[in-house]
Amino acid sequence: MKFRPCIDIHAGKVKQIVGSTLSATGEVTDDLKTNFETSKSSAEFAALYRKDRLPGGHVIMLGPNCEEAAMAALRAYPQGLHVGGGITAATASKYIEAGASHVIVTSYVFKGGQIAWDRLDELVAAVGKEHLVLDLSCRRRPDGAAGPYYVVTDKWQAYTDYALTRDGVARLAERCDEFLVHGVEAEGKRCGILEDLVRALGEWSPIPVTYAGGARTIEDLDLVKKLGNGRVDLTIGSALDIFGGDLPYDSVVEWQRRQDAEVS
């Protein structure tokens, strides 16, 4: 189990946003809630992660005018970052060529609320299964407090008909290298992780999976390690002090070094 860093880019700047308040286009609206914004560049954060030997983090472009900043991050940490946000089969290869180890895709492979298998196959043909991460970010339907989690697209605003199930996850795993799963209900809220979702991912996913959403303490790293049976990695965003939170980034790096020592 590993800590995975993140760089969220909105309107060209590194920010931390409450995911459920984004508009479908990524444009700034009155409903948008921003937890953190900085003048530091995406490349500075990427260089920090490179220095601290934290590979496999994700750069997410949240709307227009983000590509330049994303490319700068990839140049600063070649082969160390995944990149996502509006990527298609036609554009995926340029990010791999620019230094991304993987591209992350959600909305492109869903059409009319269903998986477009032909589009997914096009992505695999474009960059290879080994360079593809499927984002299965999900939330429950408003009337389904105890129901299944459904994959959401278009900046997490549009529900698909695709419920996360063991069989569904296994089938998608045949066509990608990893999963990224934001628990949208908790994303950016520092309210604690969605324990049932983490537990399910640990049981169901036959490939690496990273969970994001609600983490706020070092204890959350240990909790994800336990609930995910050591098979679910964790991203922490808004809670980190480098993004305006209270959790020291250096403490998280130290936690990762202890995990590395256990493995070695």
Is residue 197 within 8 A of residue 211, CB to CB? The reply is yes
DSSP 64: S
- C-beta of residue 151 within 8 angstroms of C-beta of residue 164: yes
Residue 29 clears pLDDT 60, i.e. is over it: no
| Per-domain residue ranges of the chain | 3-263
pLDDT digits (tens, 9 = 90+) for 231-261: 999 999 999 999 999 999 999 999 999 999 9
- Predicted TM-score (pTM) of the model is 0.92
Q: How far is CA 217 from CA 14, 187, 229, 261, in A?
A: 22, 14, 19, 21
Q: Give residue 200's pLDDT.
A: 97
pLDDT band at 25 (very low <50, low <70, confident <90, very high): very low
- 8 A C-beta contact, residue 174 and residue 185: no
> Which segments within the chain are labelled E, that is strand?
3-4, 6-10, 13-17, 34-37, 57-61, 81-84, 102-105, 110-111, 114-115, 132-135, 138-140, 149-153, 158-163, 178-182, 209-212, 232-235
Asked if 209 contacts 169 with a C-beta cutoff of 8 angstroms, the reply is no
Q: What is the pLDDT of residue 230?
A: 94
Report the CATH fold assignment for 3-263.
Answer: TIM Barrel (3.20.20)
**What pLDDT was estimated at residue 84?**
96
